[in-house]
Chain A
């Protein structure tokens, strides 16, 4: 195992500041502040090829370079909302390897000229916030945070901020609204946060795991980092594995590791030796991949996963075995999205509600094929029409399961799909 982010699994007490420092902790930050221009740091991260681990996989260095230098102050906001069903990696990093994460935050802040960083944690991470507050206080005590760091004129403060139960606050602009004390509803984009972010000021929003990579890139260099993963998806990734597997949990593996290796080698295979049926690689927001050999041998990186009809996203791999019927599954995901739609835009607000009604009906054997077709149609009317990606996310499992696991619905409805209906279905999907 190459633990970069989950180093606590190798170095037991790395969660203690002294131990972290024994392992060259904060050396990179010190070196940057005392000897590097902020832009040098940004260039380094750009060169490393690090891509955002929050879901979209956008180049981190590129994002930093977009910060608007004509408006001040700048802010760094860490997305620690971790609310995608099936995702639990940021939590482990912050709990067990907090200083590496915090050093990443500090490096990002230095690179973009921010003197204040906020860590926005989902409200449920109440204890974790207290734990981070204590770690931050320790850093302040040791002169790793505060004014005139390492004798320079650079100063930095990091604060935690707790959300209060809203998945949408993981969407970066909704998160910023929430941090400003407003409803967590997404903003229009453009403008994007690097030019108009927190309090209308230039802001970099990064995921926890993304930033936790940065200290080791600075410490060990770009080439070392590029030694893991693939050309376009360098580095390791913490895969949150859940669902019908023997050993669910977080696994840090190079990007490009196959689904098969994760599920069977590390995850111990499917519970009770059953057969695998489907994979959701990006949590509840994911399309359902038919878990055939081709899919299982697909490398998990940002480029390859689309070839089997899904996105890598946050890499929260939910494994679904043969006993699970898709009508049940999409009823679960729709329950989630209906509950989490912020209500700001019409298609998402009304569409998730309507889809939930339809999946309920289907799941409770009250539906005909017409309902399934209607569901597919409603989903395709939501898709691509919303203010933010949550609306799209809500349709992925629905659309992919109806097209890829038709048998489940035939069984549920108790009738095979007629030819004209099939044509109608196809047409909707292509829309």
Chain B
């Protein structure tokens, strides 16, 4: 049996129901989100399992993971802090904000904190340019937006995650 299918049978069926029967391939992106929820990244096994559900080759699934930035093929921090420092946000101080957050956490953009809780990434425009500095958080729970941030408010958020992870 297919482990993904076994674990998320109903959810997968609901996803497949959105698309015409002969166009199951459309479900590859939603299924990748399902798979990614398991470990925060897509494993090689997932590629085969999703491929099997959709009757496409694992390589085709891998191509999708590679093309889109919200899928990851390697583990990162439990929380991915994705700070927008694209032009509009940068005009409102996002570069400095990014630097400040990185300094506080002792990482460079793209790196994961030593405790594995947070990965800081600089990302392209997130459609929140009027509320810079801002970032989104990608984790097992999905994606959430955090707008009009300061370095302090951000660090407080990260501290909250750390506490949560410790008590786990």
Instruction: Tell me if chains A and B make direct contact, with any CB pair below 8 A.
Output: yes
Q: Which residues of A contact B (CB under 8 A)?
A: 82-88, 90-91, 122-127, 159, 161-167, 178-184, 199, 240-244, 248-250, 284, 316, 318-320, 324, 329, 332-333, 336, 339-340, 342
Say yes or no for B30: interface residue by CB 8 A criterion: yes
List of A residues within 8 angstroms of B129 by Cβ: 85-88, 240, 242-243, 248, 316, 318
The answer to whether B69 touches A164 (Cβ under 8 A) is yes
Contact of A86 among B29, B64, B68, B87 (CB under 8 A): B87
Say yes or no for B91: interface residue by CB 8 A criterion: yes
The answer to whether B71 touches A164 (Cβ under 8 A) is yes
The answer to whether B125 touches A86 (Cβ under 8 A) is yes
Interface centre among B20, B91, B132, B145 (most CB of A within 10 A): B91
The answer to whether B67 touches A183 (Cβ under 8 A) is yes
What CA separation (Å) do A26 and B129 show in the bound complex? 32
Nearest-Cβ distance from residue B27 to partner chain A, whole angstroms: 7
Q: Can you name 5 extra interface pairs (CB under 8 A) apart from A87-B127, A91-B128, A183-B67? A: A86-B125, A240-B130, A242-B91, A319-B91, A332-B86
Between A and B, 21 residue pairs with Cβ closer than 8 Å are A83-B125, A84-B125, A85-B87, A85-B129, A87-B127, A87-B129, A91-B127, A123-B143, A124-B70, A126-B144, A161-B29, A181-B56, A199-B20, A240-B130, A241-B130, A243-B92, A244-B92, A250-B130, A284-B87, A332-B86, A336-B86
* Identity of the chain A residue whose Cβ is nearest the Cβ of B63 in the assembled complex: A183
What CA separation (Å) do A83 and B129 show in the bound complex? 11
* Identity of the chain B residue whose Cβ is nearest the Cβ of A185 in the assembled complex: B67
Nearest-Cβ distance from residue A426 to partner chain B, whole angstroms: 27
List of A residues within 8 angstroms of B29 by Cβ: 161-164, 178, 181
Say yes or no for B88: interface residue by CB 8 A criterion: yes
What CA separation (Å) do A342 and B64 show in the bound complex? 12
List of A residues within 8 angstroms of B68 by Cβ: 123, 163-166, 184
The answer to whether A181 touches B28 (Cβ under 8 A) is yes
List of B residues within 8 angstroms of A83 by Cβ: 124-125, 127
What CA separation (Å) do A240 and B127 show in the bound complex? 10
List of A residues within 8 angstroms of B90 by Cβ: 332
Give the total number of A-B pairs whose CB atoms are below 8 A apart: 138
The answer to whether A336 touches B27 (Cβ under 8 A) is no
Contact of A88 among B25, B70, B91, B127 (CB under 8 A): B127
**Interface residue ranges of B56-108 to A (CB < 8 Å):** 56, 63-64, 67-71, 86-88, 90-92
Hey, what's the 0/1 contact readout for B121-142 against A, CB within 8 Å counting as 1? Answer: 0011111111110001000001
What CA separation (Å) do A125 and B126 show in the bound complex? 9
What CA separation (Å) do A329 and B56 show in the bound complex? 43
The answer to whether B33 touches A162 (Cβ under 8 A) is yes
Known A-B contacts A181-B54, A318-B91; the reply to A88 vs B128 at CB < 8 A is yes
List of B residues within 8 angstroms of A319 by Cβ: 91
List of B residues within 8 angstroms of A244 by Cβ: 91-92
Nearest-Cβ distance from residue A159 to partner chain B, whole angstroms: 4
List of B residues within 8 angstroms of A329 by Cβ: 87
What CA separation (Å) do A199 and B88 show in the bound complex? 36
* Identity of the chain A residue whose Cβ is nearest the Cβ of B126 in the assembled complex: A124
Nearest-Cβ distance from residue B73 to partner chain A, whole angstroms: 13
Contact of B130 among A88, A182, A183, A284 (CB under 8 A): A88
The answer to whether A318 touches B88 (Cβ under 8 A) is yes
Say yes or no for B26: interface residue by CB 8 A criterion: yes
Known A-B contacts A179-B26, A180-B25; the reply to A336 vs B88 at CB < 8 A is no
Say yes or no for B44: interface residue by CB 8 A criterion: no
